[in-house]
Structure 1
């Protein structure tokens, strides 16, 4: 009997989780049918997305408001598609502002089982979200090992399935050398600049990153700057880089196949001497490659004021949180300023090994060396069904 799965992801990190989960389900279940919304990695597994996933890649209260009506319409359309198709399970992936609204409508009009992949960070802010979420979600798949008790206390089943970053194959020295030769880097040290995967992020962070790196390269002219661009924002990244005061090497996914981009990105992360990145999952990718980093992020003023007042933790970086250290420096909110970023890059460059133990502990805690998280997630879903 065929397993019918409706799966929804709203941003690149969710697409990555969804692709691995779908591959896991295909490996464990001979006959499975997918429908829903996702990006390139989920489409590789056979999904025909109902509309472009990039429409949902919006973050921050002030950023969402101008697109509220359009997002509300997409929420309704998606929920109606789920109810009409009557899948065996609805799997929503991250993007809680969109996904949980879809799940709420589905639960109000059906008994379809609902699974949410990525537990909300109730340990960081808005702890009552778990109770509210339990009204429409039956089962949660958690990326972090300390999250299940929070979800179970609210009445949901929750399985820790590990983070997908631990399943990525490491780049070999040969891969790194090929990458260097392909982009004319020779033996020069290089710094990764990662200004985000959402248009709103890139628009805010790219000018700040460019100014900070201008200072850094002025002091360290031997360094090259490499910018891996996320697919949905590649055009904006190219546009922003034109005004940077430093020469850059851009990894542009529009000119590469998905596999080529993966290989080049892994080699870039593993070969880099230092990284400047937006806050988010990318800090774990850097940790997996054992690349020392500085994290910088700035919200719209209104969003920052609200989040600052509601935060329950003193760090936004998962490496710091999982390892219970504060070794990765952060330039957040008003501190996301070129001079601050430059000074933190200098400090990390002077002692790049300071982050190594925390990175190793983080990867071990997230399931490094065990079964692939996509497989574990698929097993958890099938066991619950």
Structure 2
């Protein structure tokens, strides 16, 4: 794969080379999976945690299901220069992928009532991003909630909102706090059509910063919110970047750049810049900025992707050589069986210039 450079004077970060790690094999984060989305990662509970969105298994579980709203896997391998693994995929009582987020009794009742409809009623709780609440604290898992109304022909339901869960111990899973028992959506902080804040959560100077990238078909404007880490579960504590400062009014949030519905953002100390990785029109791209609030550079093409590839994400915890080497993953159809997707791993060498 060939690295690309931006227009003269426009690209703040430069990439010397791009190479696929272990090109003969995919990263085996999810054994037995046919399709998945995402793959955000972090180090927590003394292991590497990898969280995925909607996932389809190769074989039905004990309940005859192949679909999950999310899945997660873990590894003790933190050195990506020769690939990653082995991974241990979490499974549930039915033998399928274990979902990252636990549904409420009301959500389970909604699914049970529409289980015989076509399509069946479903509640989707998809992880958007995860970060430690403090250096050694629990994990905050931001997620989006959507719904499929059973028997609607696929046209009912849609986005419901977004929120945050807390993961205190790996064996317990992420717990979703109830903020207002009397509310129609007691576990959500943001309600559609508000932007679904929760992408690329980052802890900086005691505050968690999260992104929302809203798909408007032609553009996907990305806005930024900040909240003190100890107040991440308080909706009124969130502030939104307006371009000139922080506001408590969500409708004053100003787009910082045009991105994608999935992206990663982390600081690279080697070039002392924030890097945002995502996919745009079949190309893995990166933007850079001296601060989370910008100014953000134009898109720098990293490498072209295979047809059908998606979910380009950076993994800051895997950086090597003080950040001179960055690692990206993306999901693509398998060359052997296009109906089965695989997770690929890329190594980027950054230029100190």
TM-score, reference length from structure 1: 0.23
Compare the two structures and name the one with the higher helix fraction.
1
TM-score, reference length from structure 2: 0.24
Structure with larger Rg: 1
